[in-house]
Amino acid sequence: MVPLKKKIKILLITATLFALTAFTDTMVAQLANSYQNDVGIQNDPDVLYVEMFDDSMTNILSRYNEKINTAGMSPDSDVPPGSLGPHSLKMTSITGGVNNGGYLFKRFTPGFDSIVYVRYYVKYPSLSFGYFHHEGVWFGGYYPALDYPYPHAGTCGLGSSRLSIAYENVWQEANPPGMDTYLYWGDMHSYDGGNTCFGNTMINEGRTGYGNPSASSAPVDVLDQWMCVEMMIKLNNPVTAYNGELKVWQNGLLVGYWEPGFPNGHWLKDKWYNNPSDPPFHGFRWRTDANLNINWLWFEFFHDNPQAPSSYIKFAHLVVAKKYIGPIYSPAKSTGK
């Protein structure tokens, strides 16, 4: 029989090794750590697309299939901490319904399969508080693929025609606003028994922290500060399986993770409620046709309430990759604007 003190020592050593291994794996997997200030990250073999907004508006706009309200877009010298600039992209809206913001939509041909990570920086201004609508970066797939966004809100029974992933100011009643997923896919849940389907939320309801004590509170939007958002989708394969996954990070902290068997919870209408006493999550069946892949990206600023004040949103340092990207790596201490 192993003495108690020796057992405790073995457990402590094992736990330490596990923690070090987990930390090392995280550091190795964080692609941005190999590219200080994101310089040269576009050349990494695991990177699929990069948008730094660091050249002329003519060049920026040429990279997108459809553009709305380009007159309300401009380069801005305000950049995230760790960025070397020279600027971010600012999209604007005008009160009274003069314009409702704008967007940039890009189609990828032939698109990306398996696992895709999307990381970007966004800044939401406090003057938009109470009037947020759909404002952020959406990505996903259409089958057949399209050169323009077709959200078709409220539609159920999507099958393999569409999936979209977003992380937005969903909980606007809170101050500061609560961030959450906004998901559309073939197996999405309806709030009225299958007649109408709007984006499904996964993070805030019944939140328990996903086993990470530092993530025990629901994520919020700290207004007027740059936020780093990263999302990962693992498409189900084969298409009959419920083995799809989703992860969401905010400022480098994992705030949501769903895979077959994790976390525990239940669906109530169109919202996932996290509850450790419930059965485990069964996994995502994102598609039922292998032709549906990740083939579009959408910078969106839909600020459509005519009572809303004139406002803006800022985007910077978007990277699409096949592995975890992480926030901008900058060993020198820097401050945001």
CATH number at residue 210: 2.60.120.200
Domain of residue 302: give its range.
35-321
The per-residue pLDDT for 336 is 39
Confirm whether 329 is domain-assigned. no
Q: Do the Cβ atoms of 118 and 137 come closer than 8 Å?
A: yes
Q: Do the Cβ atoms of 90 and 76 come closer than 8 Å?
A: yes
| Amino acid at the residue 218 | A
| Residue 11 burial class via C-beta count within 10 angstroms: exposed 0-12, middle 13-18, buried 19 and up | exposed
The per-residue pLDDT for 25 is 36
The per-residue pLDDT for 102 is 96
Positions of the chain with pLDDT lower than 50, given as ranges? 1-28, 208-215, 333-337
Tokens 């994102």 correspond to: 286
pLDDT digits (tens, 9 = 90+) for 314-331: 999 999 999 999 999 998
The per-residue pLDDT for 173 is 79
Rounded to whole angstroms, the Cα distance separating 199 from 190 reads: 9
The residues, any chain, with a CB within 8 Å of residue 177's CB and separated by 6 or more, are: 124, 129, 132, 169, 170, 171, 220, 221, 223
Cα angle vertex 265, ends 261, 268, to 5°? Answer: 130
Rounded to whole angstroms, the Cα distance separating 141 from 112 reads: 9
User: If residue 59 lies in a helix (H) or strand (E), which one and from where to where?
Assistant: helix 57-62
**Which residues on adjacent β-strands are paired with residue 256?**
248
Q: Do the Cβ atoms of 320 and 94 come closer than 8 Å?
A: no
The per-residue pLDDT for 29 is 60
For the chain, how many structural domains are there in total? 1
| Residue 51 burial class via C-beta count within 10 angstroms: exposed 0-12, middle 13-18, buried 19 and up | buried
Confirm whether 337 is domain-assigned. no
Confirm whether 181 is domain-assigned. yes
Confirm whether 21 is domain-assigned. no
Rounded to whole angstroms, the Cα distance separating 142 from 203 reads: 25
Confirm whether 117 is domain-assigned. yes
Confirm whether 1 is domain-assigned. no
Measure CA 206 to chain center: 20
Confirm whether 229 is domain-assigned. yes
pLDDT digits (tens, 9 = 90+) for 209-260: 433 334 457 899 999 999 999 999 999 999 999 999 999 999 999 999 999 9
Confirm whether 80 is domain-assigned. yes
The per-residue pLDDT for 331 is 87
